[in-house]
Amino acid sequence: MLHEHDGRRPVVMAADVMARQAGVRPGMALAHARSLIADLAAFEGNWEADEAALERLAAWCLWLCPLTSADPPDGVWCDTSGCAHLYGGEDAMLAVVRERLEALGYHIRLALADTPGAAHALARFGRERDTLVPSRGTAAALDPLPVAALRLPAETCEGLIRLGFTRIGDLRRTARAPLTRRFGDLLMHRLDEALGVRPEPIRPVIPLDAIRAQRQMVEPIGTAEALAVVIGELVDEISEILRQRGQGARQLDLVCERVDGTLQPVRVGTASPVDQPAHLRRLLQERIAVIESGFGIEVMTLTVSHHEARQTTGDQSVLERGQDGSGDLACLVDRLCNRVGASRVFRLTPRASQIPERAQAQSPVTQDAADPTSTFSFVRPIRLLDPPKPLRVEAEVESGAPQRFVWDGRTHRVRGADGPERIQGEWWLSDSEFHAARDYWIAETEHGERFWLYRQGDGTHSWTGDGAWFLHGLF
């Protein structure tokens, strides 16, 4: 529990979960709290230190997105526009944020919404621990929240509740003018900011040691060509600094400040440290389409938010070696990663497993393409049905080979079958696979099509599988 002095007496400033269960509330006199809990651990609070810590936390959040800002007393804003796909979608991004912040020991509530105001409200007053508001669903999400969620002074909230406006939805549906006359401009400003009618710029944290370049335009620019020219200049400046320091950029943030004061962030990442201006320029120019220039852009800032030392000697990455004229393959891979997300650009690498669907892994493209030394002794289809599709086998011959089966609404007669190839379950992975077995058959139908079928179980012992048939691929 933390306490502070309000001028007359020490009062409770914040309390942890256990103290709150015992009835300690912020704003309560310290003496009262001590009477509730005999061995209360009370420390003097320090707002300045808290704010400084919050600023540091906001700067720490820069790994997530280019624009972060402290939202005192207890919040951090992150403008994640155009970043979610890098983590595999918004759900996945929230999960990553939660995991990392909880690892630091914070108790957090997360909200992702179209506007800072709405996110602020939902993080504090939303029903769920993590709220994800779909695009254009802001109004619906805000309606059931209390008016206090709008960051209003306490007296305004009290006044509204006395008039019967308890929810944000009530405010949204009533006439604006009388409320403005009574409570001042702030009320409607806050409402509009939360709904996104009125832009609310956030003041981003700037890391101290960052490599950055900035251009202030004499006249606002808006066309793709003009943006490309400015990006080119910024990149030249940055890559010069990078080269002097022997560093390469791993992540770049381009922030465009519009005439109306809002900021448009763009983030690009690279697979390996890069200081080539052509490479960086290409990555950024690809993202011009996502910049909404509105009435024009006044200031553009390019920041290297993550950089690493470049390997200047020794063997370079396989992608840079340039096999048969593929010199800019690294650039292509980076561009693909920035467009679809790094986890969705991969190589297939063999993995030691007998189970066909586990016999390969997805590995990042930066890795040197391993020579497939493993020799596949059995023939495998080029594509697998994932998951295997159940299939009805109507007749089997004595050896267990399928003779007639139904697939795709048609009965197929087997004219030749090859098998069985028995694959045992990987008992070291889980108990359920301890006895499991599959019998694979290659069955050729009268039409010459070759099916890759398997039966669960060895056909005699029920504990090896239930004898159901599946189609796993075609040859």
Residues near another protein (CB under 8 A) are 323-329, 331-333, 335-336, 339-340, 344-350, 356, 359-360, 362, 365, 369-372, 376, 379-386, 407-408, 412, 415-418, 442, 444, 446-451, 473-475
Spatial strand order of the sheet with 450-456 comes to 402-407, 410-424, 437-445, 450-456, 469-474
Which residue, 125 or 405, is less far from another protein as judged by CB?
405
How far apart are CB 260 and another protein at their closest, in Å?
Answer: 29
Which residue, 300 or 333, is less far from another protein as judged by CB?
333
How far apart are CB 268 and another protein at their closest, in Å?
Answer: 15
Rg of the chain on CA atoms, in Å: 31
Which residue, 210 or 329, is less far from another protein as judged by CB?
329
Q: Is the dihedral of CA 376, 378, 382, 385 positive or negative?
A: negative
HSE, CB side, 13 Å, CA atoms: give it for residue 250. 10
HSE, CB side, 13 Å, CA atoms: give it for residue 321. 11
Tell me the residue type at 238. Answer: I
User: What pairing do the DSSP bridges indicate for beta strands 130-132 and 110-112?
Assistant: parallel
The Cα diameter of the chain in Å comes to 95
How far apart are CB 63 and another protein at their closest, in Å?
Answer: 24
If phi over 0 gives left and psi between -120 and 50 gives alpha, with beta otherwise, what is residue 66?
A: alpha
As given in the structure block, the two tokens for residue 59 are 């700067």
Give 318-325 contacts, CB < 8 A, sequence gap 24+: 318/368, 318/369, 319/271, 319/272, 319/365, 319/366, 320/272
How far apart are CB 427 and another protein at their closest, in Å?
Answer: 22
Closest by CA position to 82, among listed 338, 344, 364: 338
Which residue, 298 or 334, is less far from another protein as judged by CB?
334
HSE, CB side, 13 Å, CA atoms: give it for residue 26. 7
How far apart are CB 125 and another protein at their closest, in Å?
Answer: 33
Q: Is the dihedral of CA 282, 286, 291, 293 positive or negative?
A: positive
Which residue, 60 or 475, is less far from another protein as judged by CB?
475
- Measure CA 293 to chain center: 25
Angle at 349 between CA 344 and CA 351, to 5 degrees: 120
Which residue, 63 or 378, is less far from another protein as judged by CB?
378
Which residue, 127 or 447, is less far from another protein as judged by CB?
447
In sequence order, the 6+-apart residues with CB closer than 8 A to the CB of 244 are: none
As given in the structure block, the two tokens for residue 322 are 């340039």
Tell me the residue type at 78. Answer: C
Which residue, 197 or 370, is less far from another protein as judged by CB?
370
Which residue, 59 or 414, is less far from another protein as judged by CB?
414
Which residue, 262 or 272, is less far from another protein as judged by CB?
272
Angle at 292 between CA 72 and CA 238, to 5 degrees: 75
How far apart are CB 281 and another protein at their closest, in Å?
Answer: 16
Q: CB-based burial of residue 141 (10 Å sphere; 0-12 exposed, 13-18 middle, 19+ buried)?
A: buried
How far apart are CB 209 and another protein at their closest, in Å?
Answer: 34
Which residue, 5 or 344, is less far from another protein as judged by CB?
344
As given in the structure block, the two tokens for residue 432 are 């359920």
